């Protein structure tokens, strides 16, 4: 029986986020949200382990109250318990304080044998949450996991992707695993699970009910990094556009230009 934690995140659809040219702030209002796609690969890996070895999956996320919908989506795929960490004081957190907060909130559901994370989020995309969670859980770490071969006798064997090949590793439990999407495509929930997840209870953690929470280590005060400024990327002057009226003549003109340049 494995006790598994899966960390998930609700993110804005980054394709639709715009920057206010006047204030330089990001406009998120009305932007649709989704569950970070790589987290669904991590969840799938966890669900497969639960099916193979038995056990329980706790889902955890931090975000505004609407992040509950991400938890329900994941519950429908496979999860026994869902934890939402929410509250103003948690806002503006970087990975240093987010990792602290998640580990503190998860404590009462642990200890965990395995912790699963997506490789990175599509919005923040620092890719460093997993390592920092592993450190705070005092867990081993297998990043870029392609497939899990076995969990046995307090150890996990898995194959991971390196720059030049695939590495088979063996780690002690507890272990945090970040999952590549190649072999763990997220499954669709069946109708029954979907309906059950809609009604499932969600545990809400706030700054007031997480035991031993140090308020100086959460949100902005607990963050190591700040973002003092954002600005649109400086774009080079556009190149020469070829507009002759048809694809045929456009391509012809391009080939002429290339011939002049001596590239062809």
Partner 1 sequence: MNKNDYKNMWVYIEHDGKTAAPVGLELCCEVRKLCDRTGDRLYAVVIGALPETELEKVKACGVDGFILVSGTGYDFFNTDAWANAFTVLSRKYNPSAIFVGGTVDGRDFAPRFAVQLETGCTSDAMELDWDPETGDIQFIEPAVGGKIMAVITVPVLRPQVGTIRPGTFPYAPVGAKERVEVIEERIDFDPAAIRCHPVGFIPDENDPELDIAHADCIVCVGNGLKDGEHLERYRTLARLLGGKLGCTRPLYDRGILPYKLQIGQSGVMVKPKLYISFGVSGAVNHTAGVDAGLFIAVDKNPNAQIFNYCDYGIVGDMDEVCDELIARLRAGDGKLI
- The 57-96 site mask, x for binding partner 1 (CB under 8 A), equals -------------------------------------xxx
- What part of residues 28-57 is at the interface with partner 1 (CB under 8 A)? 37
- What part of residues 186-215 is at the interface with partner 1 (CB under 8 A)? none
Cβ at position 197, least distance to partner 1 in Å? 25
Among 131, 147, 183, 204, binds partner 1 (CB under 8 A): 131
Q: Could you report how far apart the first and last alpha carbons of the chain are, in Å?
A: 64
Distance of CA 15 to the CA centre of its chain: 17
Cβ at position 204, least distance to partner 1 in Å? 26
- Decide: is 170 part of the binding site for partner 1 (CB under 8 A): yes
Size of the site for partner 1 (CB under 8 A): 79
- Decide: is 132 part of the binding site for partner 1 (CB under 8 A): yes
- Decide: is 261 part of the binding site for partner 1 (CB under 8 A): yes
- Decide: is 233 part of the binding site for partner 1 (CB under 8 A): yes
What Cα–Cα distance (Å) separates residue 49 from each residue in 52, 61, 70, 187?
Answer: 5, 21, 21, 14
Q: Which two tokens stand for residue 19?
A: 């920057």
Residue 113 and residue 140: Cα distance in Å, rounded?
A: 10
What Cα–Cα distance (Å) separates residue 203 from each residue in 58, 85, 101, 122, 242?
Answer: 11, 8, 15, 26, 58
- Tell me: cis bond preceding 130? Omega within 30 of 0 counts: no
- Decide: is 251 part of the binding site for partner 1 (CB under 8 A): yes
């Amino acid at each position: 029986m494995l006790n598994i934690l899966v960390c998930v995140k609700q993110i804005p659809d980054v394709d639709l986020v715009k920057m206010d040219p006047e204030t330089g702030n990001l406009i998120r209002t009305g932007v649709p949200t989704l569950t970070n796609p790589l987290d669904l690969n991590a969840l799938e890996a966890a669900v497969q382990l639960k099916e193979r070895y038995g056990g329980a999956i706790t889902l955890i996320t931090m975000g505004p109250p609407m992040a509950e919908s991400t938890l329900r989506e994941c519950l429908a795929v496979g999860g026994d318990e869902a934890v939402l960490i929410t509250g103003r004081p948690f806002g503006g957190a970087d990975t240093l304080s987010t990792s602290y907060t998640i580990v503190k909130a998860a404590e009462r559901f642990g200890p965990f044998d395995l912790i699963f994370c997506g490789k990175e989020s599509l919005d923040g995309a620092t890719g460093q949450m997993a390592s920092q969670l592993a450190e705070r859980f005092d867990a081993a770490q297998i990043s870029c996991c392609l497939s899990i071969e076995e969990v046995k006798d307090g150890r996990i064997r898995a194959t991971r992707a390196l720059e030049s090949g695939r590495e088979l590793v063996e780690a002690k439990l507890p272990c945090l695993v970040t999952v590549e999407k190649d072999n763990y495509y997220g499954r669709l929930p069946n109708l029954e699970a979907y309906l059950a997840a809609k009604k499932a209870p969600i545990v809400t953690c706030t700054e007031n009910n997480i035991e031993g929470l140090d308020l100086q280590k959460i949100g902005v005060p607990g963050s190591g990094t700040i973002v003092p400024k954002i600005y649109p990327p400086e774009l080079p002057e556009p190149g020469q556009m070829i507009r002759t009226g048809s694809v045929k003549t456009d391509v012809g003109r391009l080939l002429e230009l290339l011939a002049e340049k001596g590239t062809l």
